[in-house]
Every structure is written in structure tokens, then in C-alpha cells.
Amino acid sequence: MTRLHPQTLRIIALFVALLATVLFFSTQIDNYLSPRMFTRITTSAAVILPIAVGQAIVVMTRNIDLSIGSTVGVVAYLTGEFLGGHPDLHPLAVALLAMGIGGLMGAINGVLVAWGRVPSIIVTLGTLALYRSFLVQYSDAKTITTASLPQWLVDLPQANAFSLFGLDVRVTVVLALLSALAMGLALTRLRAARRIYAVGSNPDAAVMAGINAGMVVFVAFVLSGAFAGLSGLIFLAKFGNITVVAGMGFELKSVAAVVVGGVSILGGSGSMIGVVIGCVLVDTIDNSLTRWELVSEFWRDALLGMLIMAAVTVDTVMSRSLGRLGGKGGA
């Protein structure tokens, strides 16, 4: 195999884009290439990465999960509240609880999409509002504050897993990377996980090939919910203060990271390494723009939006010209 696989090419392109972004901002912002900036970006990306991983799985099956922002909010709130009454719960049990709640919420989406045959954009647009409404009702306008959380959780965002060349790698960052790594390994090594690609690539063919496509889609949504749950836990630890607006807008951030990371919005392709780089790239741009003197605050969102559109356009043009080279000539 001397020929580069299009996916590999895409990862390289993404990596180059990330490098170029970092280099560019290092000429613009004083003290940019610093351990502190590294921590800023990695810890901020760590909140989004798990949901981007979950979103990627769903998008690979040719669906979308717009409810994960609300899922993050509900999980952060419920977990925070539960910890208020059970501060001695083992950290691992807390993680399982958060992912379990998230998984359950994902399962509701999954059932409706896989077996209810309702388009995922409709289902998750509905649960986006539904889960948020549930949180509004349930919370009764009470805020979860750091005071009610166990100390280990409050300290978690500052906890260092290890240091590398003077760069601190935080525990939350390791957690987020582990979720991507686990999913990445599954997607390349596990036969059952390969079916995610198959279903997204050609749903009819999947059924013809004897794959239980409904089950695959269902599992994808459960995983998306569970990863959103993990994200909710990291959110809770990092911000401490949980109100009904927690996690709002995360669905769009995750879709942005996934799409920039080279997961085809039409399903069937994409890789976890791409999602990680996409997530970091989006976060780097966002965090760098706020520190860039030349750009006013008002342009930040617009610039970020333009960059995402540029990424998608480049992607589309690239895959179209690759398709042409591949030669599917007509009669």
C-alpha cells in the first residue's frame, strides 16, 4: 500500500491545519506557546471531547444527536444532586452513575429512531427540549453549588495525571482521551463496532448483509448518551455551579468538532483520531480568538463559524475530486 488512504490524508490535513493555527497564533499572542496555554486548551477541550466521541458514533450511522447538550445538563444536575446526599460514593460508581443516566437518555432516542422509524433529527430535536424541560421542572430553580459536592470532585479539574516536557496533563483530559481511545480501538478492532460504519455507509446493504441495523443505531445512541454523561460529570466537576442552562449549545459544538474532524455527515466514515484533532482544533481557535488583540469580541463567533464552513467546504471539495479520480465514469 503505497497509496494514501483518503482518511489518512484527511488526518494529515487536519493535523497540518492545527499546527498552522497554533503557529499563527504564536506570532500574534504573547506567551502563547506556554504550558499554561496548553492546560487551558486541553482542559477546555476535555469537556467537549466525550460528547464529540458520542456524536461521531451517531453521525457515522447516518443519524444526528441534538439532545446531548440537554443530556449533559440533566446528568450534571442529577449527579450533583445525588452526590449532595451521598458524598461518600466511590468515584468509579459516580462515573458509572453519570454514564448510566446518560445512557438511559440515549436509549430513549435510540428506541424512537431505530424502531420507531422517526428521523433522528426530529426525535432528538424533541428530546433536546424535553430533557431541558424535565430539568427545569425537576430542579425547581435550585442551583447545585460546589459547596454540596465532595472535595475530590471539586479538586478533580486541577488534579494532574502526569507531566510531560513540563506540560501538565490533567486527569479530566486523560479521561476524555481514554473515551476517545476506547472508542477508536473498538472502531478498528471490534467486529461489532465495524457494523456502525456498515450501517451508515449503506443501510439497505446492511440489512441485506444480515446486520441488525436497528440494534446498531440503538447502541450508537446509547453510547452517545453515556459519553454525554461522562461529559456531564466533567462539567459538574469543572464548573461546580449547575443551573438549568448547563450544557446548552453543546450539541452544535459537538457537531462542529465531529464535522471538522472529518466524520462524514452522510455517515459511514470517520475516525476517532480525526474527532480528537477536530475537537482540539475548534477549541484552540475559540480560545485563541478570545486572546487575540486584533479581533473584537463581536467577530469571534462569526470567525469560528466561517472556519467551520471552510473546513466542511474543503472536505466536500476534496472528497468530490477524490471521487472523480476514483473514476466512476458514466456510459
Q: 8-37: which residues touch other proteins (CB under 8 A)? A: 29, 31, 36-37
State the DSSP H helix or E strand holding residue 163, giving kind and residue range, or none if neither.
strand 160-164
Interacting stretch for other proteins, rule CB under 8 A, among 11-19, 90-98, 173-181, 241-249?
A: 241-249
> In the window 151-210, what residues touch other proteins (CB under 8 A)?
157-158, 188-192, 194-195, 197-198, 200-202, 204-210
231 in Cβ contact with 95 (< 8 Å): no
How many alpha carbons fall within 13 Å on the CB side of residue 75?
36
Q: Please identify which residue in 14, 17, 47, 255 interacts with other proteins, judged by CB under 8 A.
A: 47
> In the window 88-127, what residues touch other proteins (CB under 8 A)?
none
Q: Please identify which residue in 126, 291, 312, 318 interacts with other proteins, judged by CB under 8 A.
A: 291
| Burial label, 312 (beta-carbon count in 10 A; 0-12, 13-18, 19+) | middle
Distance of closest approach, residue 211 Cβ to other proteins, in angstroms: 6
State the DSSP H helix or E strand holding residue 245, giving kind and residue range, or none if neither.
none
Phi, psi for residue 168 in degrees, rounded to 5 = -85, 125
Interacting stretch for other proteins, rule CB under 8 A, among 98-106, 222-230, 273-281, 319-327?
A: 319-327
State the DSSP H helix or E strand holding residue 161, giving kind and residue range, or none if neither.
strand 160-164
Q: Taking the chain, what is the end-to-end CA distance rounded to the nearest angstrom?
A: 30
> Binding string to other proteins for residues 243 to 262, with x set by CB under 8 A, is what?
xxxx-xx-------------
The residue whose grid cell reads 431505530 is: 114
Distance of closest approach, residue 286 Cβ to other proteins, in angstroms: 7
> Binding string to other proteins for residues 210 to 229, with x set by CB under 8 A, is what?
xxx-----------------
Distance of closest approach, residue 50 Cβ to other proteins, in angstroms: 13
**How far apart, in whole angstroms, are the C-alpha atoms of residue 171 and residue 17?**
27
